[in-house]
Amino acid sequence: MFYDATRRDHGMQQDPLTALIVPRPIGWISTVDGHGRVNLAPYSFYNAVSASPPMVYFATTGTYGDNPTKHSRRNAEETGEFVVNMVSADLVKQMNITTSMVDYGVDEMKLAGLTPALSRYVKPPRVEGSPIALECKYWKTIEMPIEEGREKQQAVVVFGRVVGIHIDDRIIKNGRIDTLAFKPVARLGYSEYTTTENVWRMPRPDDPRYQ
């Protein structure tokens, strides 16, 4: 089949777009507001964009009730910092609780029964028990184009520079990260998820550094 992405004439009950770009890593973003109140929310429009310098982004889409600005974006812009926590298989239920739409200032980390862990270079706390955390300094926000008739749905991409990285020592084996030791969770379409359960190697033909 083929469908026009602007007209969305796919004929399906639900827009399939997010089921087509899979699996997506989940950036579990912790921030604080100007009063130091903690915020935590999952973002699957998240990824690394550069290794040098180490840069990541998360993108907010749609509205938050009547408010076009999601709390993670607002806090990152206002206080200049955020932390990306890795969602391992054992944290998936808590992650789902932190997507709840709650009032500004409500601490989703507490709501999900999670414990904050101190960060080194930034104020937002990490999620204790998360095997990897990236401490980030906010860089800039880029606003996506506005679609006619969908003015309230504007997306923005929030970029940050990674300044500090926490890795649980238990997932380091022989000087490498053992992915199966923490089983990262990724987002599929709809309310579907997947967990990394197998790993294989395919060295590059032209570069023996990648083993």
CB-wise, 78 or 178, nearer to ligand FMN? 78
CB-wise, 143 or 206, nearer to ligand FMN? 143
Q: Is there a contact between 166 and 133 (Cβ–Cβ < 8 Å)? A: yes
Question: What CA–CA distance (Å, rounded) separates 5 from 174?
Answer: 46
User: Which residue among 26, 114, 122, 158 contacts ligand FMN (CB under 6 A)?
Assistant: 26
Least Å distance, CB 54 to ligand FMN, is: 20
Whether the bond between 205 and the residue before it is cis, its omega within 30 degrees of 0, is no
CB-wise, 36 or 205, nearer to ligand FMN? 36
Candidate segments 7-15, 41-49, 116-124, 175-183, binder of ligand FMN by CB under 6 A:
41-49
Question: What CA–CA distance (Å, rounded) separates 107 from 32?
Answer: 9
Least Å distance, CB 153 to ligand FMN, is: 10
42 binds ligand FMN (CB under 6 A): yes
User: Which residue among 44, 85, 88, 119 contacts ligand FMN (CB under 6 A)?
Assistant: 44
User: Which residue among 47, 61, 141, 196 contacts ligand FMN (CB under 6 A)?
Assistant: 61
CB-wise, 74 or 162, nearer to ligand FMN? 74
Least Å distance, CB 72 to ligand FMN, is: 3
Report long-range pairs for 137-143 (Cβ below 8 Å, ≥24 apart).
137/80, 137/81, 137/161, 137/163, 138/76, 138/77, 138/79, 138/80, 138/81, 138/82, 139/55, 141/73, 141/77
**What tokens does 186 get?**
């990724």
* Residues of this chain, 79-138, that bind ligand FMN according to CB under 6 A: 96, 99, 101
Residue with tokens 């997010």: 18
**The total number of residues written for the chain in this structure:** 211
Least Å distance, CB 154 to ligand FMN, is: 11
Question: What CA–CA distance (Å, rounded) separates 8 from 24?
Answer: 22
Q: Is there a contact between 98 and 41 (Cβ–Cβ < 8 Å)? A: yes
Q: Which residues are at the interface with ligand FMN (CB under 6 A)?
A: 26, 39, 41-45, 59-62, 64, 70-72, 96, 99, 101, 187
